[in-house]
């Protein structure tokens, strides 16, 4: 550590102390810097501005973290534009420094820089550089910026998705607020890619999917894929999207010319490229089923072909086609059968290890939220309601650590688990954390829990291994631990036990007197 020392010169040959260099030599400790880590949010929308003047969401905060040496330097953000060869500082009008947090450990300092960006069209394809201010070598380049056009949602329904124009791993979620459509970039789950038209993420990350072009005119319906027939003037089929296990449902195809020699009904299972002919209808209206009699019933009445799907399950999803031979020509159309399932109420579990301004994250404080998220799957999101406020906001990325998302799909239902850590600040005390599916908000589909934070200095006068009473929770205690400083750690009492406010010891005494006793701070 820094200070004044007496320094002796030791002979290399004899090991003898030959000379005292000085009485009071000032020794200064220097600590090296390191290459920082850059994490960019995929929520990168060109010219995004909200009514309050803000130009980014909590989900759109980017971070840079790294060792900045001792004495500490600081992290800086630069940009090089597409095809550029040199970097320059980002204009103050295009960057908002949300927070700059330093954590010191002996003779090293780690800085976490959180920032929002106002994206312009000229930044598409640009790269950011995060660097240590007094170093020419310690820097990290970001991936290229993949920007989302501001107008991509102008002709989309609220809560719908679009394909990201330049990033196969990202979908665009459209939401309308106050009559204005706003796009939002959301990363697909690991190893999934977005459909260029629907924006839905799936396991298909083939070159065909990732090289598809997202239409530049977002208000024009794109031409159908080559596997889909052009609309016919003679026959028209509807699409059917129904609730899982809701009973038999009919998909209808209407034709306006009865002078046909043959009608073929085909079926292509979802995810497969080859279809099968399941039924022939002859000119005398005789219907001959060829296969899948246990799955569908087909009837013909008043120029309407009704395909009745007997079981509305996801295993039966697919495309039904009708091919009519009329005057030597083939006329055709298709209708899609899809099912959906609603999400359930998630379960939110918060660790009791909630310490204000701890300065670092430890995995003993991991929290989780698990729930049924419907079919097709929705993502679980985290929100916070601060005390004395009425509006929930998404938790800033800078406060979330070690975020993981796991998804499992079985029997037309998706289950998702997110695990995460939080960096707690004083304003989060008694706030509520809410977990819910992204597209749904009602009393049946969210879970919430209150935060009861532990003061950082509660163990300042305690010894390592001792306990204190938790000041906000009767069912938890605080363990004081020495590890290059005295740190508190929240621990749950055993089921049915409560802590003593002074000693922190848990017992079966959960009387009002015990739980209402004030913990000295």
CATH assignment of 347-450? 2.60.40
Same fold, 31-141 and 235-340: yes
Q: In the predicted model, is pLDDT for residue 225 greater than 50? A: no
pLDDT number for residue 199: 84
Mean predicted confidence (pLDDT) in 389-406? 85
Q: What gap in Å lies between CA 187 and CA 148, rounded to an integer?
A: 13
pLDDT number for residue 26: 58
Helix (H), strand (E) counts: the chain: 2, 39
- At 259, give phi and psi (nearest 5°): -90, 65
pLDDT number for residue 217: 62
DSSP of 242-263 = EETT---EEEEEEES----SEE
Pick the CATH number of 235-340 from 3.90.700.10, 1.10.3720.10, 3.40.50.10490, 2.60.40.10: 2.60.40.10
Mean predicted confidence (pLDDT) in 68-74? 82
Mean predicted confidence (pLDDT) in 498-510? 93
Tokens for 28, please give them: 């200064």
Mean predicted confidence (pLDDT) in 470-494? 91
Cβ-contact 319, 336 below 8 angstroms: yes
**pLDDT per residue over 249-268, tens digit each?**
999 999 887 788 889 999 99
SS3 300: strand
Residue corresponding to tokens 């998404």: 394
pLDDT number for residue 491: 94
DSSP of 332-398 = EEEEEEEEEB-----EEE--S--BBT-SS--GGG-EEEEEE-TBTT--EEEEEE-TT----EEPPGG
Q: Return the higher-pLDDT residue of 94 and 296.
A: 296
Three-class SS of 153-197: CCCCCCCEEEECCCCCCEEEEEEEECCEEEEEEEECCCCCEECCC
* Statement: the pTM of the whole predicted model exceeds 0.85: no
pLDDT number for residue 222: 42
For strands 62-70 and 75-80, give the pairing.
Answer: unpaired
List CB contacts of 39: < 8 A, sequence separation 6 or more.
62, 63, 64, 65, 397
Residue 519 has what DSSP assignment?
Answer: P
Could you name the CATH architecture of 31-141? Sandwich (2.60)
pLDDT number for residue 314: 87
The domain segmentation of the chain, as residue ranges, is 31-141, 235-340, 347-450, 467-515
**pLDDT per residue over 433-480, tens digit each?**
999 988 776 767 889 999 999 999 999 888 899 999 999 999 999 999
pLDDT number for residue 8: 52
Q: Is the bond preceding residue 71 a cis peptide, omega within 30 degrees? A: yes
68-82, 139-153, 313-327, 342-356: least confidently modelled range? 68-82
**pLDDT per residue over 267-318, tens digit each?**
999 878 788 999 999 989 999 999 999 999 999 999 999 999 999 998 899 9
Q: Is the bond preceding residue 506 a cis peptide, omega within 30 degrees? A: no
């Amino acid at each position: 550590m820094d200070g004044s020392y007496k320094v002796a010169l030791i002979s290399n040959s004899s090991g003898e102390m030959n000379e005292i260099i000085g009485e009071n030599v000032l020794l200064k400790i220097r600590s090296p810097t390191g290459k920082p880590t850059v994490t960019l949010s995929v929520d990168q929308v060109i010219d995004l501005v909200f009514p309050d003047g803000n130009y980014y969401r909590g989900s759109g905060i980017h971070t840079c973290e790294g060792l900045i040496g001792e004495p500490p330097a600081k992290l800086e953000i630069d940009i090089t534009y597409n095809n550029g060869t040199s970097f320059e500082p980002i204009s103050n009008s295009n960057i908002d420094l949300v927070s700059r947090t330093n954590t010191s450990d002996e003779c090293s300092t780690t800085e976490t820089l959180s920032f929002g960006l106002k994206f312009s069209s000229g930044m598409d394809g640009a790269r950011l550089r995060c660097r240590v201010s007094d170093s020419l070598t310690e820097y990290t380049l970001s991936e290229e910026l993949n920007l989302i056009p501001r107008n991509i949602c102008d002709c989309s329904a609220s809560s719908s998705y679009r394909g990201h124009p330049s990033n196969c791993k990202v979908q665009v979620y459209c939401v309308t607020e106050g009559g204005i459509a706003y796009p939002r970039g959301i990363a697909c789950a690991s190893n999934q890619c977005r459909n260029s038209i629907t924006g839905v993420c799936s396991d298909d990350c083939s070159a065909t999917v990732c090289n598809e072009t997202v239409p530049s005119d977002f208000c024009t319906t794109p031409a159908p894929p080559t596997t889909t027939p052009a609309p016919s003037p003679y026959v028209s089929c509807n699409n059917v999207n129904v609730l899982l296990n809701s009973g038999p449902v009919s998909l209808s195809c209407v034709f306006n010319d009865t002078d046909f020699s043959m009608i073929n009904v085909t079926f292509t299972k979802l995810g497969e490229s080859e279809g099968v002919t399941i039924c022939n209808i002859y000119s005398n209206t005789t219907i001959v089923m060829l296969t899948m009699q246990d799955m569908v019933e087909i009837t013909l009445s008043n120029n309407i072909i009704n395909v009745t799907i007997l079981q509305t399950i996801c295993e039966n999803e697919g495309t039904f086609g009708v091919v009519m031979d009329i005057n030597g020509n083939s006329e055709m159309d298709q209708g899609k059968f899809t099912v959906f399932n609603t999400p359930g109420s998630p379960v939110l579990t918060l660790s009791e290890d909630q310490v204000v301004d701890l300065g670092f994250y430890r995995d003993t404080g991991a929290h989780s939220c698990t729930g049924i998220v419907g079919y097709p799957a929705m993502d679980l999101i985290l929100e916070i309601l601060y005390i004395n406020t009425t509006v929930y906001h998404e938790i800033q990325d800078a406060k979330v650590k070690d975020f993981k998302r796991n998804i499992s799909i079985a029997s037309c239902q998706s289950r998702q688990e997110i695990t995460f850590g939080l960096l707690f600040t004083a304003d989060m005390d008694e706030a509520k954390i809410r977990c819910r599916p992204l597209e749904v908000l009602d009393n049946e589909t969210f879970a919430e829990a209150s935060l009861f934070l532990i003061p950082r200095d509660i163990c300042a006068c305690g010894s390592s291994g001792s306990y204190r009473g938790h000041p906000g929770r009767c069912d938890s205690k605080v363990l004081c631990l020495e590890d290059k400083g005295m740190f508190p750690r929240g621990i749950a009492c055993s089921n049915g036990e409560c802590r003593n406010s002074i000693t922190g010891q848990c017992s079966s005494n959960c009387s009002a007197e015990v739980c209402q006793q004030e913990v000295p701070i």
